[in-house]
Structure 1
Amino acid sequence: MPNYSLKLLFVSTPVGALGTGIGGGVELSLYNIAQEMLRRGHSLQILAPVGSKLAQLPIIEIPGNRQIIAQSQGRDTPIMMPDNSVLANMWEYARQVQGEYDLIVNFAYDWLPFYVTPFFDKAIAHFVSMGSLSVAMDKMVVQVVAKFPGTIGFYTPSQAATFALNTECACLSSGVDLSLYEFCPNPNNYLAWLGRIAPEKALEDAVQAAQISNIPLKIMGKMQDEEYWQKICITYPNAPIEYLGFLSTTNMQQQLRQCIALLMTPRWIEAFGNVAIEALACGVPVIAYRRGGPAEIVQDGKTGFLVEPDSVKGLVSAIAHLPQIDRSNCRQSAETDYSLEALGDRFEHWFRVMLK
């Protein structure tokens, strides 16, 4: 397999500018993969909506109206694009400059990049950031898998299983810069919840568990649905919760590492759950529903607990058993499986296999 430096073009999510948190976990994944590829001597450019900012990474800002978030639409919703779509503009730019790169890497969970794949001369690697959400998207993923084997990558097998695929695809997991996360052996009596504040994340389950356990809950993440948040506040007026907003990695881990556990309560099949490995990197156990990506990250009884999906009672029971967890096991798990080096190895191998 050739070992030359690669020229990579990353095409970001069109739902919002990088650095705003609107893109959720895909923002962190793109950032970490990009910086590791640069560290390894590869060259790259990132196409992203206007206003995008990621420290020390080369971004070409593309104008246009952002795309509607996929998880807010129904399974049978027709494909829709706004006027002057930033998604279309990014891919038109990519088409024009494709000859300058060895490989184009798509981070957008959208129908268009998959549809245009056969019309490009350059190979396109698609890193799929969510599980099955729409009939149209599912069909397009299946078509690309059939026509261009090996070019589709997922986070986890459980995510890949939500698509009707007849062949195995690369499962690439995720990773973080462990130097940014400080291990905390002696936490304070707080719980944490981290993520986009939107219905599919089921924050209300964590709020209810905190209220029953009488342990304060620190909530961090992008406020995506204000009406949903207000409903939670009205429903649980006496819950011991504090919303800290969308924080930088530095400020977030300062709060997270001092907590006794991170609660993960997704109502859907989470493709991965970057917040889980961020918690583990701080030595924080993860209590998650046994569903999707988190169920493949958490080692039940060792780095946290997996509970029955949608069971607040299960969350409360797991919180009571937290003293059984050795927090050093959490950090060790992050160091073994979720370092940037491990992440880079997986993605670099995937890229090179496509190009050999």
Structure 2
Amino acid sequence: MRIAQIAPLYEAVPPKFYGGTERVVHALVEELVRRGHEVTLFASADSRTSARLVPMAEGGLRLTGARDGLALHMAMLEEVYAQADRFDIIHSHVDYLAFPFARHSPTPTLTTLHGRLDLPETRRILSRFPEQPLVSISHSQRIPVRDLSLRWQATVYNGIRLEHFPFRQEPEDPPYLVFLGRISPEKGPVQAIEVARRVGLPLKIAAKIDPADRAWAETHFLPLLDTPGVEYLGEVDEKAKAELLGGALALLFPIDWPEPFGLVMAEAMACGTPVIAFPGGSVDEVVVDGVTGIVCRSRTVEEMVQAVRQVEKLERAACRRHVEENFSSAVMAERYEAVYRRVVAEARGETVGVPFEEGFRLRMPPPPRPRQGGGLGKGKAEPTAWGGEGRAQ
């Protein structure tokens, strides 16, 4: 199949540092090429891909500092649809920006919505283009717009390249916790620091600070870096991220927003690292509570502290299996192939079945088995060897 993939221009594909959507696009493109598809990627010039690359910006806009990113995206879309007859399907990852072009193109467009859908402006634009074939990245992502008549094709969970996130049977000794992503109030870095302080474990933070969040970070986050045991690493590349996640006792994910997917949860579990999270958005779809992590229903720091003290009982191999079966690039590509076939067949006027309205079901791991030994770190028999308000012993 001849497939055009439209990536956001804010980061390279794959991104050098932060960039969830661009990382997902890279994983999908590489797997589709491996499966024999003819893939053309519209992305920034510094992207690395096995597909045919059509460069549409000098580099990722966030790092190059381009002043009008919207103009460059619109120019890219004009180029994509000028070449539309070269493709069987166009797969857009730039949210609703392609809708006006897609409406007038004989080549079908499939749009994966990667962001939150609970904003009134988003509802308004989606309601104007009800004919556009859509994919959600979690079932929960659709909830804010469930009253709109939209043309959902499937829920396809994001996938990662498993070879980039090697499995670790045991965390590092002495143990530490990790927070990874973006420094902003809805991501919960302040709560993560308080959890680590109360439980007495080091916390490693690898995250970017966007200009929009700089004022908040300077008031609420940066002063907390004097907390003993807290280490702020800034943004890290994928290799460093895998090492950081794999060595951690747990990933802290104290979110306060409707997370559409949360790729770092899958990345952590691929390394064997359980996720301790507040509920919200996709969390209960990605994390199997009590098996691959712990979901803190009361959304309190105290409950998360107690979860840290229990997390070593979870089997790290179960975390890896869960990602292999549900969130790998191979699984993601296979599911997109099914959607592509349906959308292309429908555009050709062929008889097709109903859309995959229920999405693709997760393959759930079995209930947890008690771990032998207990304790945090080698040779420690009881979790009470650390904890309280002080440092790890």
Same fold (TM over 0.5): yes
What's the secondary structure of 1:221's corresponding residue?
strand
The 1-side partners of 2:70 and 2:321 are apart by: 47
| Deviation at residue 283 of structure 1 after TM alignment | 0.6
Relative distance call for 1:289 and 1:54 in structure 2 (3 A) is farther
Please tell me whether residue 137 in structure 1 is matched to residue 97 in structure 2. Answer: no
Tell me, which stretches of 5 or more residues in structure 2 are unaligned?
Answer: 346-393
- Which position in structure 2 is the counterpart of 1:3? none
Deviations 1:180-208 (A, max 9, x none): 22211221211111112233322211111
- Which position in structure 2 is the counterpart of 1:229? 217
TM-score w.r.t. the length of structure 2 is 0.78
Q: Which 10-residue stretch deviates more, 16-25 or 302-311?
A: 16-25
Relative distance call for 1:326 and 1:53 in structure 2 (3 A) is same
- Which position in structure 1 is the counterpart of 2:53? 59
The 2-side partners of 1:272 and 1:331 are apart by: 18
Please tell me whether residue 321 in structure 1 is matched to residue 317 in structure 2. Answer: no
- Which position in structure 1 is the counterpart of 2:382? none
1:205 and 1:310 in contact (8 A); partners too? no
Superposed, 1:201-212 pairs within 5 Å as 201-212=187-198
2:105 to 104, 115, 120: 120
Aligned AA (1:132): L
Aligned AA (1:165): L
| Deviation at residue 337 of structure 1 after TM alignment | 1.4
The 2-side partners of 1:328 and 1:53 are apart by: 33
TM-score w.r.t. the length of structure 1 is 0.86
The 2-side partners of 1:268 and 1:17 are apart by: 26
The 2-side partners of 1:190 and 1:343 are apart by: 31
Runs of 4+ in 1 over 6 A off after TM superposition: 64-68
| Deviation at residue 125 of structure 1 after TM alignment | 0.6
| Deviation at residue 289 of structure 1 after TM alignment | 1.2
Aligned AA (1:42): H
The 1-side partners of 2:18 and 2:120 are apart by: 22
- Which position in structure 2 is the counterpart of 1:352? 341
- Which position in structure 1 is the counterpart of 2:355? none
- Which position in structure 1 is the counterpart of 2:328? 339
1:159 and 1:271 in contact (8 A); partners too? yes
The 1-side partners of 2:115 and 2:338 are apart by: 22
The 1-side partners of 2:9 and 2:53 are apart by: 14
Please tell me whether residue 10 in structure 1 is matched to residue 5 in structure 2. Answer: yes
Superposed, 1:98-177 pairs within 5 Å as 98-109=84-95, 111-144=96-129, 146-148=130-132, 151-163=133-145, 164-166=147-149, 168-177=152-161
Aligned AA (2:188): A
The 2-side partners of 1:157 and 1:222 are apart by: 27
The 2-side partners of 1:285 and 1:134 are apart by: 31
Structure 1 vs Structure 2 CA RMSD: 2.5
The 2-side partners of 1:138 and 1:246 are apart by: 32
Please tell me whether residue 90 in structure 1 is matched to residue 80 in structure 2. Answer: no
Q: Which 10-residue stretch deviates more, 11-20 or 187-196?
A: 11-20
Deviations 1:36-91 (A, max 9, x none): 110110011211235x32354543221389989xxxxxxxxxxxx94871111111
The 2-side partners of 1:45 and 1:309 are apart by: 46
The 1-side partners of 2:42 and 2:80 are apart by: 8
- Which position in structure 2 is the counterpart of 1:75? none
Aligned AA (2:134): I
Deviations 1:265-293 (A, max 9, x none): 22211111111111111110011111111
The 1-side partners of 2:240 and 2:15 are apart by: 15
2:167 and 2:270 in contact (8 A); partners too? yes
Size of the alignment, in residue pairs? Answer: 334
Aligned AA (1:280): M
1:65 and 1:82 in contact (8 A); partners too? no
Relative distance call for 1:243 and 1:323 in structure 2 (3 A) is same
Tell me, which stretches of 5 or more residues in structure 1 are unaligned?
Answer: 1-5, 69-80
What's the secondary structure of 1:85's corresponding residue?
helix
The 1-side partners of 2:305 and 2:273 are apart by: 17
What's the secondary structure of 1:346's corresponding residue?
helix
1:264 and 1:286 in contact (8 A); partners too? yes
2:203 to 193, 208, 217: 217
The 2-side partners of 1:118 and 1:258 are apart by: 48
Aligned AA (2:38): S
- Which position in structure 2 is the counterpart of 1:265? 254
1:21 and 1:222 in contact (8 A); partners too? no
The 2-side partners of 1:65 and 1:238 are apart by: 37
Please tell me whether residue 181 in structure 1 is matched to residue 165 in structure 2. Answer: yes
Larger of the two Rg values belongs to structure: 2
